Amino acid sequence: MLVEAIRMRDSPMRGAPRHEARGHRVYSRSKHRTGSLCRFVRVMAKNVEICVAVAYTAYCYYKYLHIISTSKIKKPWKKRRWWVKSINRNRTREHMDRQLSELLMEPGGEFKNFTRMSLADFEYLLNIVSPMISKKDTSMRQAITPKIRLAITLRYLATGDSFKSLHYLFKVSSEIISRIVPEVCAALNEALKDEIKMPSTTDEWIEIEKGFRDNFPHAIGAIDGKHVVIKCPNHTGSEYYNYKRTFSIVLLAVVDSKYRFIFCDIGSQGRISDGGILRNSVLWKNICENKMNFPPPCPLPGLNVDLPYVFLGDGAFALSENLMKPYPGDHKLNTPKRIFNETLSRSRVLSENTFGILTSRFRFFKKPIELMPEKVTQLTMTCVLLHNFLMKSSSSKNIYNPSGTFDKYDNGVFIEGAWRQEVPQNCAIRCVPHIARRSPISATKIRDNFTEYFVNLRNK
């Protein structure tokens, strides 16, 4: 009893009714539970913050790795200290025009060496491309004149100098030159597009055949292909990788007896052979569909069979009814196959000489070209068009190909042309491989008939 009395005395609800004491116990439990819940919430909140922080850190690290793996870290941009470099500040129209005028006045023909053409032809080209390459002056500086733009482009194609070297010569930044050259080449390609014209009528084909008639009758052109070696393009894999373990595009062309291009196909990947390029070309498609308007087959003197008009190629092409190539292998002197091969080789040397003069005059091809394939295709076409233009020009022909430039035969003796000494060893234009193929029977019979004609001609 005493213990109970003491407990009642110390109790905070002493003397309180029973229901009030019960309420106090409920309130105490509720308060205890609320405190526990608050502590739980605080702990969970801390855990959530930790989880969010960990997740955000992991995400940032992932993004960092992704950026590192997909792109290079760019260096902080450095503000330029000048608008125009000091070397270019005294560049004026008068200065650049005076520079070309001084070249023109030199007695040694320096202007001709500088542009690979006469002044008259330079002025002609300037007149036809000026509307396409002219730029307007701005409040910041004067525009580079069409005359200088054309001179820069011709100098680049003629020498193959780097844009940096041309920068010091013309006092035009290499970045601007890299834009000027493709623009001017595009204008030249548009202005000179008619310089390459495939014959479209029978009479035009006969006119070309007259140039081959003395050596190989019924020949209407020498066909050849070359690899134009380029720098490996980005993200192209082995598309441009050729059998020589270099990267290239292919230049396929047909040449007439005057060393001029009458057909040109540029831009196919180097991994494709000459034969594959030909089969995929517009030329071969038109041949197969009989759209070329070739003269009808007719017999040669001493033969009773009709022979078609043919292109002359090398071992890289497949023998067909409209394309003759040499007999494979080595053959003894004065044998029929040797006679045919020698006759065809004397006519095919036209295409070899044409590519040779193209390479030696346009030193743009002196080494592998460090431009994208699209630009290489564009600039190569410009060189081909300029080649035809200069070969037809009365004022520039002797500058472009002086006497002794081409190969020739003198009493059956082969004499090398001067161009062979001017072509660099590792130039950008290179030969394609010869591929052994099974020839169609009809094409083989045509070649045998030509062989019979040449043998009879020699025995007379």
DSSP 363-408: GGGSS-B-S-HHHHHHHHHHHHHHHHHHHH-TTTHHHHS-TT-S-E
How far apart, in Å, are the Cα atoms of 89 and each of 169, 177, 179? Answer: 14, 16, 20
Residue closest to 215 by CA, chosen among 325, 343, 312: 343
And the tokens for 53? 């922080």
**The predicted structure's pLDDT at residue 35:** 59
- Classified as helix, coil or strand, 250 is strand
pLDDT at 133 over 90: yes
Judging by beta carbons within 10 Å of its beta carbon (0-12, 13-18, 19+), is residue 169 exposed, middle or buried?
middle
And the tokens for 1? 């009893």
Q: Rounded CA gap, 255 and 263, in Å? A: 7
**pLDDT tens across 356-384, in order?**
899 888 988 888 888 888 999 999 999 99
Q: Rounded CA gap, 92 and 115, in Å? A: 21
pLDDT at 81 over 60: no
**pLDDT tens across 323-341, in order?**
999 998 888 888 999 999 9
* Torsion angles phi and psi, residue 109, rounded to 5: 70, 40
pLDDT at 53 over 80: no
How far apart, in Å, are the Cα atoms of 251 and each of 208, 264, 288, 364, 428? Answer: 22, 7, 21, 15, 11
pLDDT at 242 over 80: no
Judging by beta carbons within 10 Å of its beta carbon (0-12, 13-18, 19+), is residue 385 exposed, middle or buried?
buried
pLDDT at 79 over 70: no
pLDDT, greater one: 275 or 63: 63
**The predicted structure's pLDDT at residue 5:** 46
Q: Rounded CA gap, 379 and 364, in Å? A: 9
Q: Rounded CA gap, 421 and 418, in Å? A: 6
Q: Rounded CA gap, 229 and 359, in Å? A: 12
The dihedral of CA 114, 115, 121, 126: what is its sign? negative
Summarize the confidence of residues 414-439 as an average pLDDT: 67
pLDDT at 42 over 70: no
Parallel/antiparallel/unpaired status of strands 219-230 and 310-312: parallel
And the tokens for 92? 């004026």
**pLDDT tens across 175-191, in order?**
899 999 999 999 999 99
